[in-house]
Every structure is written in C-alpha cells, then in structure tokens.
Copies of this chain bind each other. A is one copy, B any other.
Amino acid sequence: MSDDHLSRLSLNQETIKQWSLPELTEGCVKAGVGMVGLWRAPVQEYGVERTARLLADAGLTVTSLCRGGFFTALDPAERARALDDNRAAIDEAAALSTDTLVLVSGGLPPGSRDLYGARERVADALAELAPYAATRGVRLAIEPLHPMYASDRCVVSTLGQALDLAERFPADQVGVVVDTYHLWWDDRAPAQIARAGAGGRIHSFQLADWITPLPAGVLLGRGQLGDGSVDFREFRRLVEAAGFDGPIEVEIFNEALWARDGAEALAEVAERYVQHAC
C-alpha cells in the first residue's frame, strides 16, 4: 500500500497494547505510520518527557492523549482530585506536543439516577479546565461513549449531548471525538457530525468496528476494521464533508488482537484501514 494511503492514519497505542513504547515507536516507523495516539498510564510508566523525546527522535507525531475526564463525582474531595488529575493530564498532553486531550465524562455516582445532574457536573468541570488547557495549547475533546456505558463510565452518550456541552465553550477550547464504535447506530450522527464540523469542533476521529456477541463487561469487544457493522467509508465521508482533514486514529480494544505479534497486528490494521476507510 502507498505512503499516501497511510498519511492520515494514526495508531492508538491501545490497539497494539502488547507493545512497549519503544516497540510502538519502532513498529510504527517500520510500517510507515507517522502518528500515534497515546494513553496516560503507559506514558507515565515510561516517563512523560522520555516518551516525548523517544517519539520526537523517531519523527512521530502524537495526535491525542487518552484520557482525562471522570467529572461526575458528588463528593467535593473526589471532585477536587479529579480536577487536579485533569490538570496533570493537560500538562502531559502539552509535554507530548499533542493539542488534543480526550475526555471520558464518567458515569453515575453510586446510588444516583440523575443523568441530567451528572452531565451538568461535566459542564462545571469543563468551565474550570478549559481556560487552563488553553494556556497550555491543549483542546479538550469530549468523547461520547455508546449508551451501554451510560451508568458506569460515561453519561455523555450521543454526539448531540457532547456538542450541547462543548458549545458552551469556545471551539478552540472544547470539542468532540467522533468514534465510529460509539456512534455507528445513531441515525442522528450524520446531522450531528455536520453540526460539529460547522463549529470547528471535531477534535478527533477514531475508528473501531462493532462486533457481536459482546463480551462480559462490554469493554474489550471492539472489532478489527471490516469485521463488523460499521460503514467506515461513509463515516469518513461525513467528517470530511463537515470540513475535517485531521488524523484518522484507529483505536481497537480487542483481546484477540493483543494476543498476536504486534507487527503482524499493525500490518493487518493498516491493510484493513486502506481497504475499508480509504
């Protein structure tokens, strides 16, 4: 496949979780993939500055850092800790020279049934964090997760809800993530992608396929591109029609993919990306 085909592809490191950061770096360079999305835990383990140097020396660009968020606690001390942790995540994003911090809002606090209140606490947290992020050159990208995560992980379930929150803030401070895994089922997603693009709020575009049966806990069942129900070419057409021309990040959580040789798994990802999303 041609360089041209892979020029927009970013590999989210969780897709080839079996790789250390040096392995990821070497593997991407060998495969002709010039961009990566990172996660905080492995980066912290390797060292933030050390990761930044490793990637810069190899000529790799960091397209996003996952993730901040978890803003829905009712307890003031827990809430203060979450804000502190998000300021640290913003600093890490800046140190890695990425302009995009992905936010997962958090679920319902134990015993609560108040989705509306939880979403308002997300807005309150954004109001505190967005100006700080702006001073570090970092944009906050709200990721709506599939409604099956609404209680325990993310009370923001649709792109419409994410935009309702984001639009309270300047577009260069708060935007959204368009992730096919979370949005593929929603007949309102096309109109909301257009809305997001018109406002300059598509900060990240991520791909994973939807496959069934879902595993227990529904966290690690994302599909390799082409194995499931998502029409990637149509999603790419929608974001591009909305003005998005940024990186296309593949982020798949799948235990079968993690059990394979990393280079082989990445080669398949690249091949499927070209086949289904180019």
Contacts and interface: CB of A to CB of B under 8 A. Distances in A.
Contact of A210 (B146, B151, B158): B151
Q: How many copies of this chain does one complex carry?
A: 2
Contact of A185 (B114, B115, B212, B218): B115
A119 B186 CA distance: 12
A155 B243 CA distance: 29
Contacts of A213: 152, 216-218
Interface of A: 108, 112-116, 119, 146-148, 150-152, 157-158, 161, 184-187, 210-218, 228-231
A255 B151 CA distance: 21
Interface centre among A115, A158, A229 (most CB of B within 10 A): A229
Given A119-B187, A151-B210, A152-B213, 7 more contacts: A114-B231, A147-B147, A148-B148, A158-B187, A213-B216, A213-B217, A214-B216
Contacts of A228: 151
Given A146-B147, A214-B218, A216-B214, A229 B108 contact: yes
The secondary-structure label for the interface of chain A is: loop
Given A113-B230, A113-B231, A185 B214 contact: no
A214 B148 contact: yes
Contacts of A150: 184-185, 210, 229
A151 B212 contact: yes
Contacts of A184: 150
Contact of A187 (B112, B115, B146): B115
Nearest to A108: B229
Contacts of A218: 148, 213-214, 218
Contacts of A112: 229
A215 to B, nearest CB: 6
Nearest to A231: B113
28 contacts: A112-B229, A113-B230, A113-B231, A114-B231, A115-B185, A115-B229, A116-B187, A146-B147, A146-B148, A147-B147, A147-B148, A148-B148, A148-B214, A150-B210, A151-B185, A151-B210, A151-B211, A151-B212, A151-B228, A152-B212, A161-B187, A213-B216, A213-B217, A213-B218, A214-B214, A214-B216, A215-B216, A216-B216
